[in-house]
Structure 1
Amino acid sequence: MRYQSLSIVALTFICSLFLFPEESLSQAHSVEGTVSDQNGEPLPGVNIQIKGTTRGTSTGAEGSYKLTTESETDTLVFSFIGFETQEIPIQGRNQIDVAMTPATLESGEELVVIGYGTQQRSDLTGSVSSVRGDALTAPAVSNPAQALQGTASGVQVVSSGEPGSSPSINIRGIGTTGDSSPLFVVDGVFVNDISHLNNNDIESMEVLKDASATAIYGSRGANGVVLITTKQGTSEEPVFNFTMSEGVEVPTSYSMVNARQYATLINEGLENIGEESRYDLSQIDSSTDWFDEVMDPASVRKYNISFSQGTDRNSYYVSLGYDNQNGTVDKSGYKRYSVRVNNRYHLSDNVTIGHNLSGNWSDKDNRLGEAFGWTYRIPSTVPVRNPDGSYASTGIGSNGNVIAALDYHHNFTKSRALVGNAFAEVSFLENFQFKSSLGVDMSHAENTNFDPVFFVDENQRNQESSLSKRWAKTQNWLWENTLTYNQTVDMHKIDAVVGITAQENNFEQLGGERNNIFSDDRDLWYLDAGATEGLGNSNIASSSSIVSYLGRVNYTLMDRYLFTGTLRIDGSSKFPEDERWGTFPSFALGWRIIEEPFMDEAGWLSDLKIRGSWGQIGNQKIGDYRYYATAATGIGYAGIWGNSIDRGATITNLVNQNVTWEKSEQTDIGLQFALFEDKIEGEVDWYKRTTKDMLVEVGVPGSVGLNATEGNVGSVENSGIEFSLDLSGSQSDFYYNIGLRASTINNKVVDLGTRDELIGGNIGAGKNVSRARVGQPIGFFYGYKSLGPFDTQQEIDNAPTQSNVAPGDLRMADINGDGTISSEDRTKIGSPIPDYTGGLNITVGYKAFELSVDMYGSFGSEIYDGNNNVRYSGDDNFSKEWLDRWTGPGTSDEVPRITFGGDWNYEVSSRWVHDGSFVKIQNVRLQYTLPASTLEALPVSSANVYISGNNLHYFTKYEGLTPEIPGSVRSPGSVDDPNNANVNNNSALNAGIDNNIYPVSSFFQLGTSITF
């Protein structure tokens, strides 16, 4: 197309030699330049016309143009759908670059995607954060949700380093002990996870935070909503784009004590309990760094190509993507192939049909679950292999040779998914539009787990090979019908929508197990290749549905007084018939002070608005059929004839016919402002969200013999302040953009009904480290407050009675003052919830170079070190902090003497609670855009190359692998029921506990983007 445009220009010039007299030709004037949007992105297809004539041109795919006018005094008219038309006099210039301003919007504002529509940002009454452009593609992340970290205020994102895993996301705090994850809406389709999405396909992400913004989604929006809009074809000329990057992931380093230090500590610990030393230090001449053995650098690859075009009658966007991330731990990796096809057909001026479809194929190696737990504990004195090449025994019953386990471990999941919708829009009577959309979210996953026959030692062996397979399919559909009314009459602007939606979620899983597989050959890993003795089969399914009625009215008076009213009525099959329906209203008011006449003199102030909202939203995130008495089959019992074993069944849970909606009530007050022609823009919000009738598991006495059931118990309150500030400017060839995001979080349990507490945070060995109690944050750490080691026997004699202690053992605080240390002295010893979080995003550019730096910080949270708290024997390895142990009076104020578990030194206490605050250099990217002169001889519109680094460094006091500690995270391709809240449970009671966590690693990438 580039050569075609050049040919047309050449032909026009030749013809002009014959058609125009010489004196007229001498007055001709050539003009060229580029046209971009408000973010500096090139705009293809912009119409450029010489004012007063019918002659002109349009910009190409790279946003550039070139034309010849009759006079250097002519005026050029730039117009493009969705942007303000601009008239610019040439005034003798040969180079004119134009930045377009979004149409119909004041103060340079843009349209914002909201539930079931769009709205001018100036008219918003709800709290909405937008993320778009390079913020979505610059970070080297496999899951788009990770791009929200530090770029959206009020959003806490905690990532896992495991390839393909989904981050833990909380919007405005944690409102429930159950699943607190937000709703994702991709082009109108509800999904639980967005790991299937290709970052390059996303146009924008909007985070809806307050009740006014989320109420339109009813029960699904109780924990906030993330709206994702994918790209569409816009350019009249076909556009082809290719992006690629190659990189390496560098594992986090972590050092345990070396072999000689380990032997010294073990000997010392044995002496402390009156036993003989085990090691002769002179015989130890080698050491194994097990973390170094387990973790290695890994390659990361990303490729993406896209084709797009848009005309008055139809548009298309097609993309193909490939992501391959090899994990830093062997047998952990994620490979994904994705395709997207977005089409829109304008059958007439009033009828449009289209679809947004994405498919992906992924292969995931599931890492050995015990990998990091074992790596912490294996002694440095143990080699990986014996002299004869066989795997060495660790000598620890509970922990095997992790390298051997990784070698013999085979667990992988293949997943296929289709997500998208087809829709039809009909406009009529000028102001009405009806839209019907049918969306699907379908996936199929196959998990294979194979263990061959192997022998390392008596505790780590497999005497017969075993194979298990599970197939799972999810089939969810969503049918939505909405009617929109939009009209502006004089000083009144009305935007209203009503609708009815229906959704059904279906899940089925089929599994089988066999032993003595015919061969270790992967081609024979089928159930029929195993023995029939001891075989196992299973088949489970679940289904749920919801019907909703929705309505919303946005009213604007004189462009300054704003009102939004929303009502949603949901009926869910998860609740019994009498409790099935929930009604959730919200209201919001806004005042655009900048539009008042008395603000005319404040020329330095370009925008000022205050807004407030209140609303209620429901939550239904519990498992299916919880109000039915379910039975488990396969229960064996001895029959009375012949002592034969017959199949039986038994009721497994209590029936709760009163379980109903969890309700979230939220109040928000916000201020938006802009100064100096929008060079400084800011927003401040105060919010308070109270979750009532919280859905939690209600325990039953063990004597009943049944599982716990869900009930509506208690309430939780979150409150805080969100702040965002953006500064931008340019001077000649230099430009900059600086964004600051900050949020405070105050979380506390207000009521737990008849219960005193909820218990969680199981780290093994019968230890639970977290609680939920009235007046405290959800998931606070609960245990003894350590005062450091006793220094002398006299200190022990003078202290409150603490049984079985000696000098060097930890001294616990007497919280209740009764003179005896007992379980009654346990108290709050920390909280995983940060006091505030924030992000800093800086972009500076000079000519063809652009440098961006993103930083993220979390402050005020604590981490519970479960890795080092749990000790099962006197053989486990030690972290380096034990080198500062107590060895005599005055030698240590924190670390006790060496003992081997089962005593006060390993009780759940503040000894294991550490400051979890950190600042992270999240992303640094240096980009160079090739100049147009370099590309003239190539069929290329634009090209750039870049080098970037992700997760480059943590500034933190925490000495563990990572200060980012997610709760339970869900990996794509899981064959568990995604609709079952107990399976996909990102529980707040598990947050902040460092126990076998896959750490976040650094990425370094070199990439390029080329547009044809």
Structure 2
Amino acid sequence: NKLNVNFSTNNSISQVTGFVDVLSADQFRDTVTAHGNATQIGLLGESSTDWQKEIYQTGISTDNNLSLSGGVKNLPYRLGLEYNHTEGILKTSQLDRVGTTLNLSPELLNKHLKVDANAKYYNVQNVFANQGAIGSAVTFDPSQTVMSGDTVYGGYFEWISGNGNPNALAPRNPVGLLDQRNDESSVNRFIGNILLDYGTHFLPDLHLFVNAGIDMADASGSVFVPATAASDFLRGGVNNVYEQSKRNRVLETYFNYKHDLKSIKSSFDVTGGYSFQYWSTESPAQPDLNVAGDTITPPGIPFFTDNALMSFYGRLNYNLAEKYLITATLREDGSSRFSPDTRWGLFPSVAFAWRMSEEGFFKDIQALSFLKLRLGWGITGQQDIYSDYPYIANYSEGTSTAQYLFGDTYYYVLRPDGYDPNIKWEETMSYNVGLDFGFHNNRWNGSLDFYKKITTDLLSVIPIPAGTNFTNQLLTNVGSMENTGAELTLNYVAIDNESTTLEFGGNVTVNKNEITKLNVLANDDDPGILVGGIAGGVGNTIQIQSVGFPTFTYFTYEQVYAEDGSPIEGEYVDQNGDGVINPDDLIRFDGNPAPDMFLGFFANYTHNKWTAGMSVRGEFGGYVYNNVNSSLGNYFNVGSTKGYLANMTTDYLNTVFQTPQYLSDYYVEKASYIRLDNIYVGYNFGRVIADKVGLALTAIVQNALVVSSYSGLDPEVAGGIDNNFYPRPRTYGLNLNLQF
């Protein structure tokens, strides 16, 4: 029942690690002067502005937690208080969070009934920076100054048309986008959970469980842009509010029975139960207003969506002589996201383990500490899709640009969405063979696994012919794929004594991915499903799903190069020799987004009161399509005759492309990397201040170093298409922990 008090404060600064490589002001002026027309040259300014440096800052963060734990008679408790203040690396972005947690864990009915009750409440105040400033800082003319010297448009330099209004095609001043937008939100969130564990009086080995929880979040916010801001000048600014409520409810009941059969050196553990989870999100309709209070767009229809997941499950664990272990599970899941005909999925699994080191014939191998063979098979289901109602006809509110005029008032229209009445669970059948081992008192230990995963009825959004299902994109089951691979994990305890420990560990994973079936091809000559939409042009894609190839294979033209190694604009290999370059000459690039190998490594060291460590990871063999360079690395991006100038990436100096070459394999780059994720050092001062307070300090650096030949901001790109302008920060932290 003693009161324990713990206080921790984690304070950090975050810094930008790099910027998109664009032309400097001098490079930009030289390029436009050499290649531009008289109008473009006349638009050049005399300043030198690094717009990316103008919008970023050193971020700061403080995260503070106070906890009190103890007991009142037979009621153990833990009370926590937290406060976080964070200023992001993008100027004007800020977060403040305050919260409290309470945990009560009494034991009742002569300790037959155990209760674990948790409640957490927190309030988050967000100030969202205008994300449009990130892209604008990359493309805005570096020869212009931040401020124009007059009061028009808030005093910020902006590109204007002949009538004095902002040029509708030009990018906006990045600093003005940040300073002239106030986007704030407040979120109140409550998370509550209670778990009841009843050990029956009549059968002590039988426990009955009830678990109930709720997660409630209510958000409200406002967006204000002054009428003088160029970004919203023609509409008279912005003065809007919004609200949203989210709910997540869960109820689970299950039993567990454990029993030892000593006569036959056996034990078993049986679990069976039921769970139900329900999610919902709703937002009331709000009008779109300007600063004067005029309605730009009347309120549409309120937003509401929900889905539920119901499950029945059972599991049996059997242990014979601490040598042979069998686990069998069976669960049936029902998802409201599928029709009644396809709603339920049955997912069995079975696993066997043999502790070989417990056998007599292994006892004489002194170097062997542990050896276990594992075999596994199972089926899992997947229903995490973006739509809650993909199997029924439903209607969505049209955009503000597709309203219908009745009298003097514009009204929203409802448009039908595409749907697949036969959509069903995606299933993955997995096979696994593994070996866990330890040598020399487990000083060396690790595991080796081989696996194969066969996924059927893949859920994906695919393009379909316009007019066939109310849409040109449809969520459906598209086919099958296989993943095969192996993973090796190895740990080594180099030093282990009373004053010093030193441990190293790492893992290597190799994986091969292949599409084995596609259900939706038009005919046998169809090369596959075009996916991977990119920035630039209209409807351009850079990837394809094809049978016999990895997922998201790049689908490109093969670039032709000059003798000096530079790409020749518009010249590609004529694959079929017909003298014409057209989509028939697109090929599957020999390299895909998924790496061939994943690597992880860690090291931990302690000596007396000192601790230190690091973690490293890497990916090898993957490729990334540099969409930043393909869309911005050409002179066409400068602005032509549109009345403004826009910057380019420095890749233009390598290619001198005058027009975009979106589908060239020149932009598909190797993206192997090694990342030093974090490195830390700490010191435990022990008991201080009259031996009453425990004090420990830890310094940590996150995202400390990246080694890669990739030319973009970051080689770690989800999906393999890099259109990222936002740098991943490097964070330096100092953590203080006090125990009273």
Match among 692, 713, 724 for residue 961 of structure 1: 713
Structure 2 match to 1:167: none
Report the counterpart of residue 617 of structure 1 in structure 2: 380
1:653 aligns with 2:417: yes
| Conserved 8 A contact 1:790-1:810 | no
The answer as to 2:202 corresponding to 1:431 is: no
For residue 524 of structure 2, what is the aligned residue in structure 1? none
Q: CA deviation at 1:916?
A: 1.6
Structure 2 Cα separation of the partners of residues 253 and 647 of structure 1: 46
Q: Secondary structure at the residue paired with 2:284?
A: strand
State how far apart, in whole Å, the 1-side matches of 2:468 and 2:437 are. Answer: 60
Take 2:536 and 2:40, find their aligned partners in 1: how far apart are those partners? 28
CA separation in 1, counterparts of 2:698 and 2:235?
53
1:327-342 to 2 correspondences below 5 Å: 327-342=88-103
Alignment correspondent of 1:878: 648
What is aligned with 2:681?
A: 926
Asked whether the equivalents of residues 312 and 346 of structure 1 are also in contact (C-alpha less than 8 Å), the reply is: no
The verdict on how the C-alpha distance between 1:726 and 1:453 changes in structure 2, with shifts beyond 3 A counting, is: same
Q: Distance in 2 between matches of 1:638 and 1:810?
A: 46
**Are 1:943 and 2:698 an aligned pair?**
no
Q: Are 2:278 and 2:309, in contact at CA under 8 Å, matched by a contact in 1? A: yes
Cα separation, 1, equivalents of 2:404 and 2:698:
67
Q: Give the distance between the partners of 2:185 and 2:411, measured in 1 at CA.
A: 32
| TM alignment of 1:716-755, pairs within 5 A | 716-728=481-493, 729-755=495-521
Contact 1:789 1:810 in 2 (8 A): no
Q: 1:512 to 1:925 in 2, by over 3 A?
A: same
What are the superposed Cα offsets for residues 517-571 of structure 1, whole Å, 9 maximum, x if unpaired? 35xxxxxxxxxxx235743243011222222110000111111111111000112
Following the alignment from structure 1 to structure 2, what is the Cα–Cα distance between the partners of residues 590 and 324? 49
Relative distance call for 1:440 and 1:865 in structure 2 (3 A) is same
Preserved CA contact (<8 Å) 1:245 1:1005: yes
Alpha-carbon displacement from aligned partner over 1:366-417 (angstroms, at most 9, x marks no partner): 3323222222211221221224472112578331111111111222332222
Q: Deviations over 1:197-245 (max 9, x none)?
A: xxxxxxxxxxxxxxxxxxxxxxxxxxxxxxxxxxxxxxx5332111112
Task: State the 1:741 CA deviation.
Answer: 2.4
How much does 1:670 deviate?
1.1
Distance 1:921 1:834, change over 3 A: same
1:303 deviates by 0.9
Does 1:779 find its partner at 2:540? no
The residue type equivalent to 2:656 in the other structure is R
Contact 1:251 1:1002 in 2 (8 A): yes
Counterpart CA distance in 1 for 2:482 and 2:358 is: 36
5 Å-filtered alignment, 1:561-960, equals 561-622=324-385, 623-632=387-396, 652-697=416-461, 699-704=463-468, 706-707=470-471, 708-728=473-493, 729-755=495-521, 756-766=528-538, 767-789=540-562, 808-829=568-589, 830-871=591-632, 872=637, 873-874=639-640, 875-883=645-653, 885=654, 896-899=655-658, 901-902=659-660, 906-932=661-687, 935=688, 937-940=690-693, 942-960=694-712
In the alignment, which of 264, 270, 274 is matched to residue 496 of structure 1? 270
Compared with structure 1, are the counterparts of its residues 928 and 421 closer, same or farther at alpha carbon in structure 2 (3 Å cutoff)?
Answer: same
Gaps of 5+ in 2: 161-166, 522-527
Distance 1:992 1:596, change over 3 A: same
Whether the 8 Å contact between 1:715 and 1:751 is mirrored in structure 2 is: yes
Distance verdict in 2 for CA 1:810–1:791, change over 3 Å: farther
| Aligned CA distance change for structure 1 residues 476 and 322 (closer, same or farther; 3 Å) | same
Instruction: Quote the Cα distance in structure 2 between the aligned partners of 1:811 and 1:646.
Output: 49
> Is 2:135 the partner of 1:373?
yes
CA deviations on 1:1-33 (whole Å, 9 max, x unpaired) are xxxxxxxxxxxxxxxxxxxxxxxxxxxxxxxxx
What is the letter of the counterpart of residue 516 of structure 1? N
Q: How big is the shift at 1:329?
A: 0.9
Question: After alignment, is 363-372 or 324-333 more displaced?
Answer: 363-372
Deviating more after overlay: 656-665 vs 381-390: 381-390
What is the identity, as a one-letter code, of the residue corresponding to 1:486?
A: K
Equivalent-residue separation in structure 2 for 1:649 and 1:260 (angstroms): 50
Q: Is the 8 A contact 1:269 1:898 kept in 2?
A: no
What are the Cα deviations for residues 857-881 of structure 1, in whole angstroms up to 9, with x where unaligned? 1222222221222144343323334
Cα distance between partner residues in 2 of 1:376 and 1:953? 24
In structure 2, how many angstroms separate the alpha carbons of the residues matched to 1:492 and 1:542?
Answer: 50
Contact 2:18 2:727 in 1 (8 A): no
Secondary structure, in 3 states, of the residue corresponding to 2:438? strand
* CA 1:910–1:646: 2 relative to 1, 3 Å: closer
Residue type of the partner of 2:492?
L
Compute the displacement of 1:595 (Å).
0.7
In 2: Cα distance, 1:750 partner to 1:337 partner: 50
* 3-state SS in 1 of match to 2:287: strand
1:268 alignment partner, one of 34, 42, 55: 34
The worse-fitting range, judged by mean Cα deviation, of 443-452 and 657-666 is 443-452
Q: Deviations over 1:815-858 (max 9, x none)?
A: 33444322222223342222222221111122221111122212
Structure 2 counterpart SS, 1:256: coil
Letter in 2 for 1:780: T
Contact (CA 8 Å) 1:725, 1:740: kept in 2 or not?
Answer: yes
AA paired with 2:29? A
Listed one character per residue, the Cα deviations across residues 452-502 of structure 1 (whole Å, up to 9, x for unaligned) are 21255xx87344122333211112211111110111222101011000112
- Which residue pairs with 1:245 in the alignment? 10
Match of 1:992 among 715, 720, 730: 720
Give the alignment partner of residue 352 of structure 1, picking from 114, 118, 122: 114
SS of the residue 1:857 aligns to = strand
**Counterpart in 2 of 1:128?**
none
Mapped to 2, the partners of 1:632 and 1:846 lie a distance apart of 63
Contact 2:138-2:725 at 8 Å conserved across structures: no
Instruction: State the Cα RMSD in Å.
Output: 2.8
In 2, are the aligned partners of 1:451 and 1:462 still within 8 Å (CA)?
no
- CA gap 1:768/1:583 in 2 versus in 1, 3 angstroms: same
Unaligned runs of 5+ in 1: 1-235, 519-529, 793-805, 886-895, 967-990
Counterpart amino acid of residue 719 in structure 1 = T
Q: 1:589 to 1:706 in 2, by over 3 A?
A: same
The aligned amino acid for 2:549 is Q
| Secondary structure at 2:451 match in 1 | strand
Contact 1:486 1:495 in 2 (8 A): yes
1:637–1:881 CA distance, 2 compared to 1 (3 A): closer
Aligned-pair identity (%): 25
| TM-score relative to the length of structure 2 | 0.88
The whole-number CA distance in structure 2 between the counterparts of 1:626 and 1:808 is: 46
Work out whether residues 790 and 809 of structure 1, in 8 Å CA contact, stay in contact via their aligned partners in 2.
no
2 CA distance for matches of 1:454 and 1:645?
26
Further displaced range: 848-857 or 412-421:
412-421
Tell me, yes or no, if structure 1 residue 548 matches structure 2 residue 307: no
1:700–1:706: 8 Å Cα contact kept in structure 2? no
1:208-607 matches, within 5 Å, as 237-254=2-19, 255-270=21-36, 275=37, 278-279=40-41, 286-309=47-70, 313-347=74-108, 348-388=110-150, 390-394=155-159, 397-428=169-200, 429-456=203-230, 461-490=233-262, 491-518=265-292, 530-532=293-295, 534-607=297-370
1:564-611 deviations in whole A, cap 9, x for unaligned?
Answer: 110001122221112221111011111110110111112221111010
How far apart are 1:784 and its partner, in Å? 1.5
Q: Is the 8 A contact 1:691 1:716 kept in 2?
A: yes
**Quick one: higher RCO (CA 8 Å, sep 6+), 1 or 2?**
1
**Residues 370/789 of structure 1: CA separation in 2 closer, same or farther (3 Å cut):** farther
Letter in 2 for 1:481: T
State the one-letter code of the partner of 2:444: I
Structure whose residues are more often strand by fraction: 2
Bigger CA radius of gyration: 1
| Cα distance change on mapping 1:460 and 1:781 into 2, 3 Å | farther
